[in-house]
Amino acid sequence: MNIFQTLFYQPLLNALVLLYQMVPGGNLGLAIILLTAAIKILLYPLNQKTLKMQKALAEIEPRLKEVREKFKGDQEKIAKETMALYSEAKVNPLLSFASLFIQIPILFALYQVFSKFSVSQEMAFLYSFVHAPSQINSYFFTLNLALPNTILAFLAGIFFFLQVKFSQPAPQTQKTSGSTFMGTFQKQMNYFFPILSFIILLKVPAAIALYLITNSILSIVEAKYVMRRIKAS
């Protein structure tokens, strides 16, 4: 068994099986929703730091813009002054992507879990204290989560867009948000990724879309809560 399977695939598979057996009627959809919430709770400390870092970066963006304009053409000076601003504000840009780095392998693992959940051979990865279900019902009410679903794929794209919108700190000024290359690039990515996710979800099990919808809704609530706490502190 490789590291990816040990750290991500196997724990998520076992968690899903446990939740599937716990929910009334063995409802796979409810088990996925509960699993998504559990992952959110586990990642909350990291997500909180990421959101705080993103807000800090947004706050010093006007000063960074001034540096780029003042030393235009002198990349070495721009880099030096930028690092000085990061140090002064105690900002680490890499931390603004920390939650993304950990969620990518989780998403890949969940794709494998949802794709192979009904395959009996995968039950060999269960821990000794987790019993394999006698049968697996892949329906969530009338939706077969083992097959692609256009409606869930569309909703996942919409909620992903809303998640990106509500999770980003408000720019300091209207001019700052759209006057830089990074600002323009970021706006384009805000539309690109939801559209890309919709296209991908048209080809994969609807269980992935249900996970992303639930994750986006919880992420929006989380972002609002964290930002409110930051403002109050």
Token pair, residue 191, equals 């539309």
Token pair, residue 196, equals 């890309």
Mean pLDDT of 145-166: 92
CA distance 1 to 192: 36
> Facing residues of 128 across strands?
none
- The model carries a pTM of 0.82
Tens digits of residue pLDDT in 40-79: 999 998 888 888 887 888 888 888 888 888 888 888 888 8
- Closest to 201 (Cα-Cα) out of 101, 116, 111: 111
Query: For residues 172 and 62, which has the higher predicted lDDT (pLDDT)?
Result: 62
CA distance 33 to 213: 9
CB burial of residue 185 (10 Å; 0-12, 13-18, 19+): exposed
